[in-house]
Amino acid sequence: MAFLDFVVNWVNDPTSERSLVLFGQAGTGKSSIAHEIARRFDKMHRLTSSFIFLRKEQSEGEAYHLFTTLARDLSDRYPSFKAALGRVIKDNSALRLRTRDYPTLFKFLILEPLKDLHIVGPILVVIDALDESGDVTGGNGLHKFLAKNLSRLPSNFRVLITSRPEDAIVSALVGAPSVRIKSMNDHELAAKTHCDILAFLRTRLHSDELNIYCDALATKAEGLFQWAAVACEYILEPPEFFDFSRIKCIEHLLKLTADHRRPDPLDELYEEVLKGYFRHQGARHLFRFVMGQLITAFEPLSILSLIALLQHAADDSDPESVLRMLRRLSSLLSNVNSSDQNLPIVPLHTSFRDFLTNKEKSGDFYVDLRHSHRYLTHSCLGLVLHELRFNICNLESSYLANNDVQDLKSRIAEHISPALLYACRFWDDHLKHLNFETDLFRKLRTFFQEKFLFWLEALSLTSNVDLASAACSALNVWLSSGEGVSIIVDSMRKANN
């Protein structure tokens, strides 16, 4: 692959710029290149850190995780860095309070521990989808900070960044010191993209019966790797409702014609695939309901966490039906066919989320994020009301600090499921997107009357107690909206009577 070879050569060249930015529109293959580079160098034990930004409505403020993740990964790979980092942060209260200040994090978590260390060979860091970081509009956004400060890293660092070519990011990174820019429509490299896609199709559709169609499918892909990837999975796993054969799937894909209302050829492909898999309205309702939870969640949910939350949603959903539905979407979602149901489920491409959340594009498959926030709020509150209890980790003594409980991590893993932890951390973030509702108010009243102290305990045990204040503030704003105040006053009057 032309672009892949170019990036490999850049990583291995000791005279290269510290950073390489790949700009490209949705589906052009920049994320595929980033993931393949990460996979290859990880296999050679040369990948230090890989960070993928996932689009979330409240992702602003979450970009600071880039620095904490990089510090953790450097510590895991280099014991000398871990020791130096420990010395730096030992007496630094700002870092213990989880500062979100980029200069502070970069200085104390990255630069200071690296100052006196001499690590041989390239240190590769992959940052995928910078445009999804949620902090690219402000005057001090992450993109501007990286543009000014990546050159301060040691000369053996190589930072690969991918992004859509948004004006703010392009203007910040073009011309930045020690940053090289490459566009996915680069004339010299893009000329070979068709050949790369054709080679990919011939590898995936390797039987003689299917291989004869690869040239036509590569032309239909119009240079979009994502189109080819989704098409291959669709062909290899035909929809059961229409009794499609693999050849029939190919014929349908080749008949797709660009619609003037859909300038992106991926949109028509997504619609074709979903119509094939979900023929009836009941199946489409379940698809919208489940996909809404997945793309609205503030952290990727695993199958087990999704099922646990759905059992408390304001909607009937059969776990077996959910599992069957997810297994049909392996071309669009990660890990849905894995035997490990603790792995995160995320859309394999941002364009699929964009398609689902645009009503004009997705039609009957449109996902209303506001409805999804409502379902997840009910799910989170229902789960904490059902599972939170006194001394949830069965600690023998309340006089020991958390740090002094030697087996605390194993106790947390046993008694606080990822789904329950998600509910404890994010119920208020989903609530922010809703107006006042009486049924939610009743759940919240029960929560604060019966589970509040247990919630604080769970947050404390998992080092998340600092979230409690923000959650209470968000609740206060929500209670003040709409009819909230009058309903609360009326409720208090009835209680006193």
The DSSP letter of residue 159 is E
Q: At what angle do helices 246-255 and 214-221 cross, to 10 degrees?
A: 40
Q: What is the pLDDT of residue 60?
A: 46
Report the percent of the chain where pLDDT is more than 70. Answer: 88
User: Global pTM?
Assistant: 0.70
Q: What are phi and psi of 17, to 5 degrees?
A: -65, 155
How does residue 434 score in pLDDT terms, banded at 50, 70 and 90?
A: very high
Three-state SS at 417: coil
pLDDT by residue (tens digit) across 283-321? 899 999 999 999 999 888 999 999 999 988 866 678 888
Between the two ends of the chain, the Cα-to-Cα distance in Å is 76
Q: What is the pLDDT of residue 97?
A: 52
Which residue did the predictor score with more confidence, 442 or 256?
Answer: 442
Which residue did the predictor score with more confidence, 49 or 150?
Answer: 150
Neighbours of 143 (CB within 10 A): 26
Three-state SS at 262: strand
Question: Region 322-349: what's the mean pLDDT?
Answer: 85
How does residue 62 score in pLDDT terms, banded at 50, 70 and 90?
A: low
pLDDT by residue (tens digit) across 215-273? 999 888 877 787 888 888 889 888 875 567 889 889 888 887 655 454 567 888 898 88
Q: What are phi and psi of 107, to 5 degrees?
A: -65, -50
How far apart CA 439 and CA 273 sit, in angstroms, is: 37
Q: What is the pLDDT of residue 429?
A: 94
> Which residue type, as a one-letter code, is found at position 356?
L
How far apart CA 397 and CA 90 sit, in angstroms, is: 27
Q: For residue 390, give both structure tokens.
A: 């006194």
Q: What is the pLDDT of residue 133?
A: 81
DSSP string of 199-231, one letter each residue = HHHHHHS-SHHHHTTHHHHHHHHTT-HHHHHHH
Question: Does the pLDDT of residue 419 top 70, yes or no?
Answer: yes
Report the percent of the chain where pLDDT is more than 90. Answer: 37
- 79: enclosing H helix or E strand: helix 79-89
Question: Region 34-63: what's the mean pLDDT?
Answer: 73
How does residue 489 score in pLDDT terms, banded at 50, 70 and 90?
A: very low
The most confident of the ranges 51-55, 461-465, 484-488 is 461-465
- 345: enclosing H helix or E strand: strand 344-345
Question: Does the pLDDT of residue 57 top 50, yes or no?
Answer: no
pLDDT by residue (tens digit) across 361-401? 899 999 999 999 999 999 999 999 999 999 999 998 888 88
Question: Region 432-452: what's the mean pLDDT?
Answer: 92
Question: Region 163-183: what's the mean pLDDT?
Answer: 91
Q: What are phi and psi of 235, to 5 degrees?
A: -70, -40
The DSSP letter of residue 261 is T
How far apart CA 156 and CA 16 sit, in angstroms, is: 9
Q: What is the pLDDT of residue 486?
A: 54
Using DSSP bridges, classify how beta strands 47-52 and 123-128 pair: parallel, antiparallel or unpaired.
parallel
Number of residues written out for the chain: 497
Q: What is the pLDDT of residue 93?
A: 62
The DSSP letter of residue 245 is -
| C-alpha R_g of the chain | 25
Neighbours of 298 (CB within 10 A): 17
The partner residues of 163 in beta bridges, in order of sequence, read 23
Give 195-201 contacts, CB < 8 A, sequence gap 24+: 195/2, 196/1, 196/2, 196/3, 196/29, 196/225, 197/221, 197/223, 197/225, 197/228, 199/1, 200/225, 200/228, 200/229, 200/232, 201/228, 201/232
Q: For residue 258, give both structure tokens.
A: 């660009």
Largest CA distance in the chain: 81
How far apart CA 443 and CA 428 sit, in angstroms, is: 13
Q: State the residue for tokens 């090289």.
A: 180
How far apart CA 279 and CA 281 sit, in angstroms, is: 7
Three-state SS at 112: helix
pLDDT by residue (tens digit) across 155-170? 889 999 999 888 889 9
- Backbone angle region of 317, left / alpha / beta, with phi > 0 → left and psi within -120 to 50 → alpha: beta
pLDDT by residue (tens digit) across 109-153? 999 999 877 777 788 999 988 888 877 665 678 899 999 999 999
Nearest to 296 by CA among 393, 429, 476: 429
Question: Region 81-107: what's the mean pLDDT?
Answer: 78
Provide the mean pLDDT of the chain: 85
Three-state SS at 177: coil
Q: What is the pLDDT of residue 494?
A: 55
Q: What is the pLDDT of residue 59?
A: 45
Q: What are phi and psi of 430, to 5 degrees?
A: -70, -35
